[in-house]
A and B are shown apart, each in its own frame.
Chain A
Amino acid sequence: MTDFVEIKDFRISFAGKTVIKKLSFSVKKGEIFGLLGSNGSGKTTTIRTLLGIYKADRGQLLINGKPFDQNSDIKVGYLPEERGLYKKENVIDTMVYFGRLRGLKDPKGWSMKYLKRVDMADYAKTKVEKLSQGMQQKIQIGITIMGDPDLLILDEPTKGFDPVNRRLLMDIIEELHTKGSTIILITHYMDEVERFCDRILLLKDGVARAYGTINEVRNKFHRRSIDQIFIDVYGAKEETA
C-alpha cells in the first residue's frame, strides 16, 4: 500500500511550549490508522496542522503528496473534537448546506438516506437545538462522511454514545473502509482500536512512543492488550520508541 498521509520531522510549539517535538509517521492508503495518546499529548494539534489550521514550526505534512487544500480533488472528512452545529437551523437544511459545500450532487437525497440509516428521518425538519447531544453527534458524523471522503479523520467519534449507537457508528466506519476510505481514528476506547485499526501511533509528550501494526506494538511491549500498553507508556518515565 502507498503512503496517503505523510508527516515528516513535524515540530510545533505554542507560546514557547513545544507540543510536538519531532514526529514522523505515515498512513497508508485504505488503512484504518489509530492515533492514540492521553489528553494534551498533541493528537488534535497534529491533525489541525495536517489540515492547515495550524502552521508547523518545521516539517512536512502532506495528503497524497501535497499540503491540504479545500479545493483539491482529495475529499477529506474531519470530525473535530470541538464540534457543533447551527443550533437554530433544522437538520436537513444544515446537512444540505454542508453537502453543497462538499460538492454533493444530491445533498438532500444523500442526507435523507443517511438520516434513515441512523434512525433520524423523523427529525429532518427539527431544529438542531431540540436534538439530544447524541443525535447532534450523529448529524455531525453524517456531515463528516458526506460524499465518501478519501481521507476520514475522526477525533473521538463515539464519545458520549451508548453501546447501540457506538456499534452503529463503527458499522458505518467499516463500510467506508470497505469502500476504500483511508481513516485516521483518534479514540480513547482501546477495544475500538484493537477491533478496527491496522496500525497505530501512540503519542506522549510530543513524541511517538509506539508505532506500527497492532501486533508489532504488542510484541514490542510484550503485552496482549493495547489498553495495558497505553497504561505502561503513560505510567512510565521518559523513554523513546
Chain B
Amino acid sequence: MSSKTFQVAHFEIVRNLKKISFWLAAIAVPIAMALYIAFVALIGATTNEQISANNNTSDLRLGLYDALGYVQQYSFINADEQEQTVAKIASREQGLQEITDNHLDVLYIIPDNFATEHRVEVHVKNGETSIFDNYSAPIKQLLNNEAANQVDAVNYAVIAQTINYQSVNYDQEDNHIIDPSETISRMAAPIAATVLFYLIIILFGNRLSTAMVEEKENRISELLLTSVKPGQLIAGKTISLIVLGVIQLIVLIVPVVLMLIIANNYHLLPTNFVIAPSLASILSSLLLLFCAFFLFASICVLIGVVSPTARDASSYAGILVFSVVIPFMFFGQMNANPVNAIGYVLTYFPLSTPAAMMLRSIFGNLPTWEYWLGLGEIALVSFLSLRLAAYIFRRNAISFTAKINLKKLLGKPRKAWKN
C-alpha cells in the first residue's frame, strides 16, 4: 500500500470515527436488540402473570350443564394444583338463572348438538374481555379427562398429538449418527455471518455508496488529483470503508457476545444450549463475510464514481441491495440438495454470489470447491469493479453535475501522447 493510499485511508477513517452518526448507526442495532429483548421479556412476564391469574379458577364458582351426559367426573386440577369441583347444573335455564342471580361465576354448557358441532358455551359473570381471558381451561380439562377415560392411552396420545418423534440422522459419507447440536453448531457460524452481512449492508450501505460522491459534490476532486492518483484515492477510500465496516461489526458483535456470556453465567440459557462451531467453520464464514463486504464496498465505490450526487448514488445502491436480497426469495431452491439450476445461477451471478453462498453454507450444500470458486469470483469482480471505478473516476471526476453517460465513460479512449 502506497503512502498516499494510506493517507487517504487514514483521513477517511479518522473523520468518520469522529462523526456521531457513525457511532449512532453502529450502536443502533445492539440498543434496538436490547430494547427488543427487554420489551419481549417484560411483555412475556406480564402476559404470563395475566394468563396465570386468569387460569387460576380456585376463587371462582363453576357450573356445568351437560345436555349429553358426556362428562362423568366433575372435578379437575386447577392452577393452584388443587382439586376443584364444578357444580352439576340440571338445565340450561337453571344455569343461566344462577349466573344472573350471581350464584355462579362461570357456566359451561355442553349443548345437545355437541356431537356434531363440537362447541361448548362458556358464560362468564363479570368476565373481562381480553386476549388473556382463559375461562375455558377447566372445561377443557374435564373433556380431556373424559376422552382419556374412554380410549386407551396409546390411542389417546395419537389423537391428542402428544407423541414425541425423535429423529436420528446419519451422515451421508461415514454413516455416523449426527447429533442435533452438531447440526446447530455447523450452521451457527454461517448464520451469524449472514446476519452480520445484512446488518452491515443496512447500516453501512448508504455510507458506502455516497463515499465517492463527496469529492465531486464538493468540487474537491480536481484539487486532489494533482496530489494523488485516482487509483490511490479509490484504494484508500475502499480500505477505509472496509476498516470502518469491521469496526461497526465489532461494535455489533461485542454486546451480543457479552449478553450471551452474562446469560450463560446467570443460567438464563437452556441447559442443552450447546453451540460449538468448529474453527474451520468460523474461519470460512469470516472469510466469506469479509469477501462479501469487499465486493459490496467495491461495487458501491463504482456506483459512487458514476453518480453525480449522493442522492443518485443512494438510488443505484438500492438496486444493489435488492440483488443481494434475491437469494432469500429462492430460499427453497437454495436449501435443495443437490442445488438446482436457480441455486447455481444465484451462486455465480456476481451480485447475488455472497448471499447465495452464505445460504448454501447454512444448509450445508456448498462443497469446498464451490466455496473457493465463489470466493475467487468475488475477488475478481471486486478487483475489476475497483479498476473500472478508477478508470471512470479519472474521466468523470470533474463532471460535477452531469448524469452518467456510460457510452461516453466507457467509450474508446482517445489516443494520447501521439507524436
Interface 0/1 of A130-174, CB less than 8 Å to B:
000000000010011000000000000000000000000000000
Instruction: Tell me, in angstroms, the Cα distance from A100 to B4 when the chains sit together.
Output: 8
Q: What's the minimum C-beta distance from A120 to chain B, rounded to whole angstroms?
A: 18
Binding stretch for chain B, among A72-80, A187-195, A199-207: A72-80
A178 within 8 A of B: no
Q: What's the minimum C-beta distance from A40 to chain B, rounded to whole angstroms?
A: 16
Complex: chain A residue closest to B14, CB-CB: A93
B273 within 8 A of A: no
A77 touches B418 (CB 8 A): no
Q: Which of B227, B228, B398, B419 contacts A53 (CB 8 A)?
A: B398
Binding stretch for chain A, among B163-171, B218-226, B347-355: B218-226
Complex: chain B residue closest to A14, CB-CB: B408
A106 within 8 A of B: no
Binding stretch for chain B, among A84-92, A213-221, A233-241: A84-92
Q: What's the minimum C-beta distance from B378 to chain A, rounded to whole angstroms?
A: 30
A71 touches B416 (CB 8 A): no
B residues less than 8 Å from A70 (CB atoms): 4, 225-229, 232
A residues less than 8 Å from B417 (CB atoms): 56, 60, 67
B39 within 8 A of A: no
Q: What's the minimum C-beta distance from B216 to chain A, rounded to whole angstroms?
A: 9
A residues less than 8 Å from B176 (CB atoms): none
Instruction: Tell me, in angstroms, the Cα distance from A88 to B217 when the chains sit together.
Output: 13
B229 touches A71 (CB 8 A): yes
B residues less than 8 Å from A67 (CB atoms): 417
A227 within 8 A of B: no
Q: What's the minimum C-beta distance from B233 to chain A, rounded to whole angstroms?
A: 9
A83 within 8 A of B: yes
A97 touches B7 (CB 8 A): yes
A57 within 8 A of B: yes
B225 touches A53 (CB 8 A): yes
Q: What's the minimum C-beta distance from A116 to chain B, rounded to whole angstroms?
A: 22
B228 touches A101 (CB 8 A): yes
Known contacts A56-B414, A82-B398; is-contact A51 B225 (Cβ 8 Å): yes
Q: Which of B220, B226, B228, B397 contacts A85 (CB 8 A)?
A: B220
B227 touches A98 (CB 8 A): yes
Known contacts A56-B414, A101-B227; is-contact A84 B219 (Cβ 8 Å): yes
A102 within 8 A of B: yes
A82 touches B222 (CB 8 A): yes
Q: What's the minimum C-beta distance from B372 to chain A, rounded to whole angstroms?
A: 36
A58 within 8 A of B: yes
A108 within 8 A of B: no
Instruction: Tell me, in angstroms, the Cα distance from A97 to B413 when the chains sit together.
Output: 32
A residues less than 8 Å from B419 (CB atoms): 60
A-facing residues in B369-419 (Cβ within 8 Å): 394, 397-398, 400, 413-419
Instruction: Tell me, in angstroms, the Cα distance from A21 to B225 when the chains sit together.
Output: 26
Known contacts A56-B414, A97-B11, A101-B7; is-contact A86 B218 (Cβ 8 Å): yes
A83 touches B11 (CB 8 A): no
B227 touches A48 (CB 8 A): no
B residues less than 8 Å from A53 (CB atoms): 222, 225, 394, 397-398
Known contacts A84-B220, A86-B220, A101-B7; is-contact A51 B418 (Cβ 8 Å): no
Interface 0/1 of B1-24, CB less than 8 Å to A:
000100110010001000100000
B312 within 8 A of A: no
A55 touches B413 (CB 8 A): yes
B146 within 8 A of A: no
Interface 0/1 of A10-44, CB less than 8 Å to B:
00100000000000000000000000000000000
Q: What's the minimum C-beta distance from A237 to chain B, rounded to whole angstroms?
A: 31
Instruction: Tell me, in angstroms, the Cα distance from A98 to B4 when the chains sit together.
Output: 10
A83 touches B227 (CB 8 A): no
Q: Which of A51, A56, A101 contacts B4 (CB 8 A)?
A: A101
Instruction: Tell me, in angstroms, the Cα distance from A82 to B7 when the chains sit together.
Output: 24
Instruction: Tell me, in angstroms, the Cα distance from A70 to B414 when the chains sit together.
Output: 21
B residues less than 8 Å from A100 (CB atoms): 7, 11
A residues less than 8 Å from B7 (CB atoms): 97, 100-101
B residues less than 8 Å from A101 (CB atoms): 4, 7-8, 224, 227-228
Q: Which of B226, B397, B416 contacts A77 (CB 8 A)?
A: B226
B218 touches A51 (CB 8 A): no
Q: What's the minimum C-beta distance from A61 to chain B, rounded to whole angstroms?
A: 8
Interface 0/1 of B197-229, CB less than 8 Å to A:
000000000000000001000111011111111
Instruction: Tell me, in angstroms, the Cα distance from A224 to B219 when the chains sit together.
Output: 38
A57 touches B415 (CB 8 A): yes
If A88-B15, A101-B7, A101-B228 are given as contacts, then 5 extra A-B residue pairs at C-beta distance below 8 Å, sorted by A number, are A12-B414, A77-B226, A79-B223, A84-B220, A93-B11
B binding-site residues for A, Cβ under 8 Å? 4, 7-8, 11, 15, 19, 214, 218-220, 222-229, 232, 394, 397-398, 400, 413-419
Question: 25 interchain pairs (CB within 8 A)?
Answer: A12-B414, A53-B397, A53-B398, A55-B413, A56-B416, A58-B415, A58-B418, A59-B418, A60-B417, A60-B419, A70-B225, A70-B226, A70-B229, A77-B226, A80-B222, A82-B219, A83-B219, A84-B219, A84-B220, A84-B223, A86-B15, A88-B15, A93-B15, A101-B4, A101-B227
